[in-house]
Structures are given as structure tokens and as C-alpha cells.
Amino acid sequence: MDKQTTASKVAEHKIVKARTSIIQEGRLGMASMITPLILKEVSEGVCSTMATDGTHIFWCESFVNESSHEELKFVLMHEALHCTWAHHLRRNDRNPKKWNIATDYAINGELHRSREISYWEMPEDALYDSKYDGKTADEIYAILSREQEEKQKGSSDGKSDEQSDDDSSDSQGNSGDSKDGDDLANANEGKPSDTSQAGGVWDAVNQDGKPLTEKEKIDAQRDLANKVRLADSMTRSCGSGYDNSFSQRLNEIDVETANYLEKIQDWLVSVYPDQTSWNRPHRNHIWKDKTYKKGNYLPSRVSSAMGGTLAIAIDCSGSTHYYLDGFASQVQGLIEQCNIEKVKVCWCSTIVHHDEDGNYWDEFDISAGESLDLVRRGSGGTELTPIFNLLNEYTDDVADLQGVIVFTDGDFYPVEAKHEPDIPVLWATTGEIPNSWHDTDVNFGEVIHLPPHCLQADLDLAV
């Protein structure tokens, strides 16, 4: 057996020993997050410390052998918290290096805070700054971005944000003999060029080593939420140890869900007019002359505070169909609380799709006990103007609608203000509005963001 092989076996034994110590100390919740992670050795040129993609722990022999037992326990717990807080699933298009720095500051701040009840050590090169204590990785990333922009304004080198963040000139090749995890690690698009910080996080990948599809990412979020619940339950059952992070993550998911549901409920309550309104004239009673410059107006009709009909228009062109069950089950509860009797649903890509009988609207009588069972109809591009053409020109009972919720992934071409209907509009998006992909923005209505990981009907989230 050569020296290199011996050194690798010694290093792997040290990792296993540190993992076993975490279990023996009664930190069963933390152990339940660590033990499923598959150990993969990588060359120093690929990763000079340790990192995780949510499925594996990649480790460098020299780093492990130079680390103490307590430091290795710290790094293992650090990697477990990367998984707990879904850092491997939430980078999106953010810079990998800066995302790693932000997530490390967030995690190490939490581990440092709990130091008085623990026995682990923080490695000397671990990223920690007390000014980030209590902040999320997302908040820290924004701070780092602002600080870098300010620094670059005063710099004369003219380097862009991405250039200074991600030094593509850094070596990503192997150093010496290749290791078992090198190919998998090198293929990861979320691996930053600089992997020197202890305990990195890379993007989650599928079994083929490729980036997760939208559906795979949703499934991973669901599975992760269940693992975190189990970890929290195990920690509480043993009555000791480190449990704040699991409870905190569960609380974040529940709070995010409660926040967006509260916003939808507030909007639903607000769309009930309690008197005649001249601000929103009844479109069926508008008379205009041939020049469309004059008109006679009557106020919109009064709707009862009980009952009424809500329209839901669904963008069927993107990833929204993955979230339909969760969206439907959660929104139905709010609809019933607001005493809305009926719901009309249409489906739009570049056109509004009709059923086999030529009907553009699917109708659900909630007051009669019908469930909001959404079955996708149609697919295609990203043009939502047809929804408002349907409302404005081809829907006879639009004056009886309380409002319309447009459920979308946020990637669509802008809808011009002239298409605004005479009913309130709520844009419920799983993506960002505005965004630059299609120059997406809205010129009317309200916008709320729906966290995709909260739109899972089977998570049984407490709201």
C-alpha cells in the first residue's frame, strides 16, 4: 500500500470518527443530516478543503489530516447546516463564490453563537464576522454585493462584479493522481473557482451529475423539508444537544408560507366593495360615441360581502404546473374563509386554451362543496395579454367577478396598461417580477411572491 493510499484511508477514518462522535454526544438530529451524505475524496486542485452538494461530502486528504478532531466535527456540522438551510438548492443565478462566502458567514455565526453548549472548534480559516450574526445568507449576499459595488466605484481597474468574484484563472484541474470524486466535482456548475474556505457548498445535481431540473429541485425541497422535520424531532426526543437550527429552518418555511397566504387573504378581503363606486365604472353600462372621446358612466354594482366569484388565470407555459396542487389546496382554504362561492379558471400560454366543448373557463362551485382541482390545459410560450383580452372582450359576467389572480412563474412578456380590466388584479408569481429575462414587468395590479418550496401540498405545513 503506497503512502498516498494510506494517507487517504487515515483521513477517511478521521471523518468517520468525527461523525461517530457527533452521534455519541447525543446530537442525533445533526447526525441524521450528516450520515446520509456520501463521502467522496477529491484532489486538492479540485477542492482543497471540504464541500457538499446535498448528496455528497467532498473532502481533500491533506485538509482532513491537518485538521483536529474537533475541527472536523465543526466542519461536518457546518456542511449539515448547508443542507438544512437548502443552500445547495437556493443559489439560483447568484455568483458561486460570493454565495459560498455569504452562506459560510450565516452558518458560522450560528455555530459560534452556540459555542457555549458545544465542544467543537472553529477552524482558523473559517469565515466569521459578528456583524453578520442573526442574518440569513440571502441578506449577507446582498450586503456583500453592495460593499463590492461601492469598492469598485472607487477602483480604477474596471473589473466587473463577476470577474472579481469568480477568478476563472484559478486552477480547477486535478493535482497529482485523480480521486474518486474529481469528475463529479469538476462537472458541478455551482462550484466556485476558489475552494479554500473550510466547508463549501455546491449546487445540487442529479444522478448524471447534471444540474437539477425544476421538477427535481422541487422534489429535493420536499424531501429536505421532511429530513429537517425528522432531525428536529430526533433532537427534541433526546432532550439535549443542538436543535436551534432545525427549529429555525422549519419556522422559516412556516413563516414564509403564512406571510404569502396572509397577503392573498388581505387582497381577497379588499376586493369586496361595500358601496357603489364611481372609480371603477360598470363596463356593461358605458356608452361611447364613435370617436370614443365621450361616454356616459354608471357606478359598478355593489357585491355582497358574502359570496361572489373569483377568477384565476394560470400561466401554463413554464414551471407553474409543478406547483398547482399546493397552490390550489392552500388558496382554496382562503377562498372558503372569504366566503367566495364560485371560482372560474382559465389557462394561457400564447393563447387562452379552451376545453373540448369550446369553454375557456373551468367553473367550480365552492359553496356546493366542489374542490379546486386544477388540471393543466395547454402549453407553449409566454404571453399573458390574451387573459385580459378574454376578460375585457369575451367574458359576459366580468362585472360579477370580485377580481382575478394570475398565477405565473414570472417569465412573460409585459402586459400593457391599456389591457387593465375593470376588476382588481393580483399577480401571484413563483419567480421575480420585474425580471430581465423577458423584460417582465406589470403595469397594473398588485404583485406577491410565492416561495416555490412552500407550494407543496404534501408538506403539511402549519400555517
Look up the pTM and report it. 0.59
- CATH number assigned to the domain comprising residue 446: 3.40.50
d(Cα 59, Cα 39) in Å, to the nearest integer? Answer: 7
Same domain, yes or no: 312 and 235: no
The gap from C-alpha 187 to its chain's centroid, in whole angstroms, comes to 23
Same domain, yes or no: 365 and 420: yes
pLDDT at 59: 94
Residues of the chain with pLDDT under 70: 1-4, 114-121, 155-177, 180, 182-184, 186-187, 189-190, 193-196, 238-259, 272-307, 318-319, 321-322, 432, 434-441, 451-463
Does some domain include residue 193? yes
Same domain, yes or no: 231 and 265: no
CB 365 within 8 A of CB 385: no
Same domain, yes or no: 121 and 8: yes
Same domain, yes or no: 308 and 447: yes
Number of domains in the chain: 2
Same domain, yes or no: 124 and 186: yes
pLDDT, tens digit (0-9, with 9 covering 90-100), for 77-109: 999 999 988 899 888 888 999 999 999 998 888
Between the two ends of the chain, the Cα-to-Cα distance in Å is 58
Nearest to 55 by CA among 188, 205, 250: 205
pLDDT at 105: 92
Does some domain include residue 351? yes
d(Cα 378, Cα 387) in Å, to the nearest integer? Answer: 14
d(Cα 317, Cα 219) in Å, to the nearest integer? Answer: 20
CB 193 within 8 A of CB 164: no
Domain enclosing residue 351, as ranges = 259-272+303-459
Does some domain include residue 437? yes
Computed on alpha carbons and rounded to an integer, the radius of gyration of the chain in Å comes to 27
Cell numbers given for 333: 382554504
Does some domain include residue 94? yes
Does some domain include residue 248? no
**Peptide bond before 386: cis, by omega within 30 degrees of 0?**
no
d(Cα 141, Cα 125) in Å, to the nearest integer? Answer: 19
Same domain, yes or no: 171 and 267: no
Same domain, yes or no: 358 and 226: no
Same domain, yes or no: 238 and 363: no
Same domain, yes or no: 268 and 198: no
Does some domain include residue 436? yes
Does some domain include residue 224? yes
Same domain, yes or no: 78 and 187: yes
Same domain, yes or no: 230 and 347: no
Does some domain include residue 285? no
pLDDT, tens digit (0-9, with 9 covering 90-100), for 25-83: 888 888 899 999 999 999 988 888 999 999 999 999 999 999 999 999 989 999 999 99
